[in-house]
Structure 1
Amino acid sequence: MKHILILGGSYAGISTAHRLLKSAPKSSMKITLVSPNTHFYWSMASCRAAIPGGFADEQVFQPIAPGFEQYPAGQFGFVIGEAESLDVEGKKVVVSGTAGKQVVGYDFLVLATGSSAKGGLPFKGLGSTDVTKDKLHEFQERVKKAGTIVVAGGGVTGCEVAGELAYEYSRDKKIILIASGPSILPVAPPSVSNLAAKYLLDLKVDLKLRTKITSSLTLANNKVELTLSSGNTIKADMYIPTFGLVPNSSYIPSTYLNSDGYVFVDEYLRMKGTKDIWAIGDVSCLERPQFLTCDRQSAHVAKNLVIMLNNKAPLEYKIATRPIGIQIGRKTATGFFGTWRLPSWLMVWARKNLFTEKLKPTVDGSLF
């Protein structure tokens, strides 16, 4: 019997575990899932969940363990802890948790530890479920009290956060979105960037393009003073920098990581230079962090592991273009597929609940 160790209670980790348990011969493997989180966090809805009244906790958090109780005893184990170090040659991981440190060996290892939002913002998990919930609630309280809120960053997260804030509070609060480029959403076709900007302006967002924040100073009254590249300053009650993600890869030897901390992978999604380790989702350097991409990588690795359990050669992974959607408030959205702008009505229909209806089916495995 092969021991498959999966690090990370992310979508990538949970979906891979369920896929394996549903498709591999029961006598051929045992799976251990390691996560510092007791609950799975539906971070795709975090930009709305962070706004007071957006989503209740139970709509974005679900306990992980009950979803795996359906499988035979001895076939699945759940360890609440965090990977501290990886010994590639010795095929073991040091895990630190509430019960102290333990060494967990493996035959096959799946790295699905995801990423964190820079600055400790609750747009991704923050180390443990309790910490993430506390930060989310703290963020909500700050939003309630703020009169002027500055969102920095013209990427997807920045635009979605500004849109959610403006949809809820355009009459009561001043929402400012600062982007360094000549347009927002630089990865999107111009037609999508322009439409998203229109939606934000319609929600009365003060959009400042070609502008950078050169410094920030916390004042005595808990306000923040931001100095802009123009030399002007803005005083705000809340400052939300949305400058990308940090991969949760500190436990991985640096030789397997690129300069930004993402895992190098080969054509099979294996960590480069190894035979029995795979990296999927946000921690991998192969593709942009995205739900559809993560799901596709999970399905591929699960299929390959089943193939290898049957002593056959794994299949190569093929990169494919996936659609990207951007929600601007609750009633407008846009998106693109390659260079094509997708119909707004389709994006609004598809993303109206930010896929929260998939949370429970993901955790209990019925989605797979």
Structure 2
Amino acid sequence: MTNAKTVVILGAGWAGLPLAHKLLKYTSSKTALKVILVSPNSHFFWNVAATRGLIPGIIPDTSMFIPIATGFEHYPVDTFEFVLGRATVIQSSSNSVTILANSGENRTFHYHHLVIATGSSIASGLPLKPIGTHEETLTAWHELQARVSSARDIVIAGAGPTGVEVAGELAAKFGKLKKVTLIMNGDFPLESSKDLLPSVRTTLDKDLQKLGVKLIRKTRVKEVSIGNDGTTQLLILDNGSKVVADLFLPLHGIQLNNTFIPDNFLDSQGNVNLDGNMRVVGTENVWAIGDVSNAGPKQLTVTDGQIIYLADALDAALTTKGPVAPYQPVSKTMIFLSLGKKYATGQIGSWRLWGILVSYIKGRNLFVDTADGYVSGKHLRHAAM
């Protein structure tokens, strides 16, 4: 498309993929536009269901991994390009980004606007988020499922949302067939989550115990080694005690996918540093969204608001209709936690949600039935701009 304005989006996850759809649906009708979406993954990983999907036979691969390119086939071919690869260098002075394609070749793309939406990974490298290409993630996913199937003693470190849900899902499925242990830093699950009601923490604590999860409190794993039998793992805790596990799942902490980003784009914590309009500080046409940025809490529940804002801001920049008001980060606490299909809890603002409501909305199938529509752009929030 000649004279088209090019927007390059790095990352096709929960933020980058729907942002591409919004620009193609609404902005491309106002100005000549080409969207280039870059990701090492050919498939979208519906990892909101990974806490249950890691149990073999529960959720099929076809529901967990949805082809990305297929979801964009209804757009004119000259308005969209999907590039399998990962960014290695951003040159803001020349408005270019270098991509190492999955095929091994280096490609350079010039942009009018660049969006960094590369997200984060589990710090331990466990495949509850993408770990590389689709093939690499799928292989690691199947290996994890096999280990879950064979393990008798499963120990989880980290009582954040992911650790709590994994412990609950495993205990709900296997009951007394497997021993599930959750090691937490504090006295209660999610103790480090700001603005969370004490009643939400105590509800989680009680429900985990009802499911048979053993809770080890106020400690953390200090050292991991192979047990005397050569197969189990010996966990040494900082309180001096020892725990033996067939399968150890460290689910605390995330690692930002930021290794290719210039240092002057980052804040002291490694987040992409944004101004009030979600632009990278010191730039005019580089933006960021989602976990990799400092736009707000690194929670899926705040992503919709970021997508809506950035789509509007880019629309304004591309159509020269004028600046938009500064982004207002979500200040309301929103969290929904399911522990299998029976137990659940959550919070919106200062209200603790009834467990039966969260179970119905989330716990039944972890939104798997909406995955295809999300990846194809049919389920966009606040679609009209």
Q: Structure 2-normalised TM-score?
A: 0.93
Of 88, 91, 102, 1:84 maps to 88
> SS state of the match for residue 145, structure 2?
helix
Question: Following the alignment from structure 2 to structure 1, what is the Cα–Cα distance between the partners of residues 28 and 263?
Answer: 35
Structure 1: 5+ residue stretches without partners: none
1:201 is aligned to 2:205: no
Give the conservation status (yes or no) of the 8 Å contact 1:149–1:237: yes
Give the conservation status (yes or no) of the 8 Å contact 1:28–1:309: no
Question: Following the alignment from structure 1 to structure 2, what is the Cα–Cα distance between the partners of residues 233 and 116?
Answer: 28
Question: Following the alignment from structure 2 to structure 1, what is the Cα–Cα distance between the partners of residues 206 and 142?
Answer: 30
Question: Following the alignment from structure 1 to structure 2, what is the Cα–Cα distance between the partners of residues 54 and 262?
Answer: 35
State the one-letter code of the partner of 2:339.
I
Give the conservation status (yes or no) of the 8 Å contact 1:308–1:314: no
State the one-letter code of the partner of 2:21.
H
1:314 is aligned to 2:320: no
Q: Which residue is equivalent to 2:23?
A: 20
The alpha-carbon deviation at position 99 of structure 1 amounts to: 4.6
The alpha-carbon deviation at position 338 of structure 1 amounts to: 3.1
Of 348, 356, 359, 1:345 maps to 356
Of 272, 280, 290, 2:289 maps to 280
Of 137, 147, 154, 1:142 maps to 147
Q: Which residue is equivalent to 1:189?
A: 197
Give the conservation status (yes or no) of the 8 Å contact 1:282–1:289: yes
> SS state of the match for residue 361, structure 2?
helix
Q: Which residue is equivalent to 1:356?
A: 368
> SS state of the match for residue 120, structure 1?
coil
Q: Which residue is equivalent to 1:226?
A: 235
1:242 is aligned to 2:251: yes
Give the conservation status (yes or no) of the 8 Å contact 1:91–1:106: yes
Question: Following the alignment from structure 1 to structure 2, what is the Cα–Cα distance between the partners of residues 345 and 100?
Answer: 51
The alpha-carbon deviation at position 322 of structure 1 amounts to: 4.7
Question: Following the alignment from structure 2 to structure 1, what is the Cα–Cα distance between the partners of residues 251 and 318?
Answer: 42
Question: Following the alignment from structure 2 to structure 1, what is the Cα–Cα distance between the partners of residues 189 and 233?
Answer: 24
> SS state of the match for residue 104, structure 1?
strand
Question: Following the alignment from structure 1 to structure 2, what is the Cα–Cα distance between the partners of residues 235 and 290?
Answer: 32
1:53 is aligned to 2:61: no
State the one-letter code of the partner of 1:355.
F
> SS state of the match for residue 284, structure 2?
coil
> Matches of residues 83-102 of structure 1 in structure 2 within 5 Å?
83-97=87-101, 98-102=103-107
> CA deviation digits over 1:145-170, x for unaligned, max 9?
11101100111111001001101112
1:216 is aligned to 2:224: yes
Give the conservation status (yes or no) of the 8 Å contact 1:192–1:341: yes
> SS state of the match for residue 48, structure 2?
helix
Give the conservation status (yes or no) of the 8 Å contact 1:16–1:298: yes
1:9 is aligned to 2:8: no
Q: Structure 1-normalised TM-score?
A: 0.97
Give the conservation status (yes or no) of the 8 Å contact 1:247–1:262: yes
Question: Following the alignment from structure 1 to structure 2, what is the Cα–Cα distance between the partners of residues 137 and 216?
Answer: 23
Structure 2: 5+ residue stretches without partners: 381-385
Question: Following the alignment from structure 1 to structure 2, what is the Cα–Cα distance between the partners of residues 298 and 102?
Answer: 27
State the one-letter code of the partner of 2:301.
L
Question: Following the alignment from structure 2 to structure 1, what is the Cα–Cα distance between the partners of residues 35 and 346?
Answer: 37
> CA deviation digits over 1:225-283, x for unaligned, max 9?
01122212111101101112111111101222123321111111111111111111111
Q: Which residue is equivalent to 1:168?
A: 173
Give the conservation status (yes or no) of the 8 Å contact 2:333–2:350: no
Question: Following the alignment from structure 1 to structure 2, what is the Cα–Cα distance between the partners of residues 314 and 85?
Answer: 29
Question: Following the alignment from structure 2 to structure 1, what is the Cα–Cα distance between the partners of residues 89 and 28?
Answer: 30
Deviates more, 1:112-121 or 1:24-33: 24-33
Question: Following the alignment from structure 1 to structure 2, what is the Cα–Cα distance between the partners of residues 230 and 119?
Answer: 22
Identity between Structure 1 and Structure 2 (%): 38
Q: Which residue is equivalent to 2:383?
A: none
Give the conservation status (yes or no) of the 8 Å contact 2:156–2:251: yes
CA RMSD across the alignment? 1.3
